[in-house]
Structure 1
Amino acid sequence: MSGQVNYLVEAPELGQECYVLHIQQDPFYSLFKWEGKYSEKRSLALHRVYPTKEDVERAAEFVKNFYISHKEQLNYLTSKPESGTKVWLDMDVIPAFDSPSIYFDYRDPFHQRLLKGCELYGTRENLIKDMSLITEALEEEYKKAH
C-alpha cells in the first residue's frame, strides 16, 4: 500500500488523546493523553505518534510488512545469546531511555519475550541502524500520503 502512514508532525495540545506506535516485529500501539514529556517528544520526533486509531493501525501494518520485506537488512538477534551477554533493547521497549542494555538471561521470561519479538540487538550500532531504517521508511510512506 502507498501512503498509509499519517503520523503527527507537530505536538498535539496538552491533554489531547493520541496513539503511540511501539516498533517491533509484531507492532502494537497504545492510547495516551499528551503531556509533553521528554519520552513523548522523542516518540513524536521518531514518527511514533498518531492522531487516530485508524492511522496507527495502518502504520502498525506497514511496520509489520516492513519487517517481513526487509528481514535481510534488519540486524536484530535471531538466536539466543549466551546468558550474561550484554544486549541492547529496542528503544521502544523503554521509551524514556536511549538504547538501554541488559545482560541476557534466558531463564527470564521478559528476556525470552524480547528475543522472540525481535527486540534485542548484539550492538548499540545495529539497534540505531535498524531504528533509523524504520524511521526513514515511515517518513517515505508519510510523504506518499501528503
Structure 2
Amino acid sequence: MPADNPNSPLSTAPLSTPNSPLSTPNSPLSTNAHSPLSTPPLSTIPVGQRERRTQDRVIALLRDRLGYDYLGNWIDRPNNRPIEEGLLRPWLEQRGYHKAQIDRALFLLDKAAALGQGRDLYQANKEVYSLLRYGVKVQTGAGQPYQTVWL
C-alpha cells in the first residue's frame, strides 16, 4: 500500500482536517506549529544515506582510533562472505596456532555464523560475538584438553 494512502499504516496524511475538532487552535490535540504535539517534518535524508553515514563513522572509529585496517566496501565483490578465511587463517598462524586448531576454530566460527534451520540473524550474531569475545574452545584430538583460539 502506498504511503500516501490515508488507510495505510504508513500514511503521511494529517491526523486532522481543517474542520475537525482536533484542529481548533485551542484544542490540546491541535497540530498547529505552536502545539507541543505537532509532528516535526520528516527528514529529507533517505534511510540508506543515514545508514551509510553511520557506517562511515564506525569505519572511521575502527580505522583512526583503534588502528584497524579498512579493506574497502566489498558489497559487490564476488564470493563475498562474512568470514574471510584467506585473511583469518594466516593471522592465526602468525599468532602461533597449529593447523588443526585453526581448522577446528574456523569450522566452529562458520557454523556459528550460519543461518537457516530455525536460526535467525540475531542468534547467529549472538553466537559469533560470543566466539569473538570469549574465544573458540577447540579440541584437536580425542582425549586432548580443550584449548582456546582467540580470534
Q: TM-score, normalised by structure 1?
A: 0.23
Larger Rg: 2
Larger relative contact order (CA 8 Å, sep ≥ 6): 1
Structure having the larger proportion of residues in strand: 1
